[in-house]
Copies of this chain bind each other. A is one copy, B any other.
């Protein structure tokens, strides 16, 4: 079976664990040259998505071979790991692009980057609270159904 261009249709294991890199076959700095399909394997993102990230300005600047093929580095992998986490926590792509721009502009934007991340952290905290609230409702409802089930069994 050959490596296909598109993302797998039948989910391989769980695509949920795309946040952090499956850090296995990572090459030492200096010889870190990954093709796009290697990065697909390492990140779980599709090649389409990786190219799209670059097009919209979400990648710091990806190296190319003399024939124009992308060669990703360990640094790119680290960046994609961060992007994956931000995405998983619901940061809009536009905000991530904004953050990427700030990174490209250099150390002068440290304060702005800190503000952006701090605002997002506040968002994430609120969302955790929301989720916990709902968990309580869910527990309550599930208990109701469980009780009803046990009750009807008792009647048999």
Contact = CB atoms under 8 A, between A and B. Distances in A.
A125 interface: yes
A-B pairs with the 4 shortest C-beta distances?
A114-B145, A121-B138, A85-B134, A89-B134
B16 A131 contact: no
B124 A135 contact: yes
28 contacts: A16-B126, A19-B133, A19-B134, A82-B137, A82-B141, A85-B134, A85-B137, A88-B130, A88-B134, A107-B148, A110-B149, A111-B149, A114-B146, A114-B149, A117-B141, A117-B142, A117-B145, A118-B142, A121-B135, A121-B138, A121-B139, A121-B142, A124-B135, A124-B138, A125-B135, A128-B131, A128-B135, A131-B131
Contacts of A110: 145, 148-149, 152
Contacts of A85: 133-134, 137
Interface of A: 16, 19, 82, 85-86, 88-89, 107, 110-111, 113-114, 117-118, 120-121, 124-128, 130-135, 137-139, 141-142, 145-146, 148-149, 152
